[in-house]
Amino acid sequence: MTNYKFFVAQLRFVANRTKCESGDVARKIDALLTIADEVERGNSNFFIAAKNLRNTSRALAGVAGFLQQHILPEVIADANAMGEKQVRWTIETCMALMAKLMTHAELTKDAQDLYITLPPID
């Protein structure tokens, strides 16, 4: 299995810094932490329950947006090549997963779980 520790750390970083201002936000944070827990246990393959497809999708899009807007510029400014590679991988992965989750939710009318496999790290 590929080492996804940085991915777990980035998901937890965003989740832990997001204020739970509503139940909707809390569900998105829970979705991120659930993915982080699965990956931390060594699972690069896991299910997203049908009822969580859209919240998880939006949560991942939020991670990508936060990293792109706030973290990536700092990593680039520090000339941290490994950090930049990892942040870019997370952004790309979150956006690809978001698209896959939303497409699946639309096609199945939110009625089917989705099996996710994380892409390999280049």
* For residue 70, pLDDT beyond 60: yes
Tally the domains of the chain: 1
Q: What is the rounded CA–CA span in Å between residue 94 and residue 122?
A: 15
Q: Is the pTM of this model over 0.85?
A: yes
Q: What is the rounded CA–CA span in Å between residue 74 and residue 70?
A: 7
Domain span holding position 20: 5-117
Task: Tell whether 48 is covered by a domain.
Answer: yes
- The dihedral region occupied by 22, where left means phi > 0, alpha psi between -120 and 50, and beta the remainder, is beta
Single-letter amino acid, residue 109: K
Q: Over the stretch 5-17, which tens digit does the pLDDT of each residue have? A: 999 999 999 999 9
Q: What is the rounded CA–CA span in Å between residue 106 and residue 110?
A: 7
Task: Tell whether 122 is covered by a domain.
Answer: no
Task: Tell whether 91 is covered by a domain.
Answer: yes
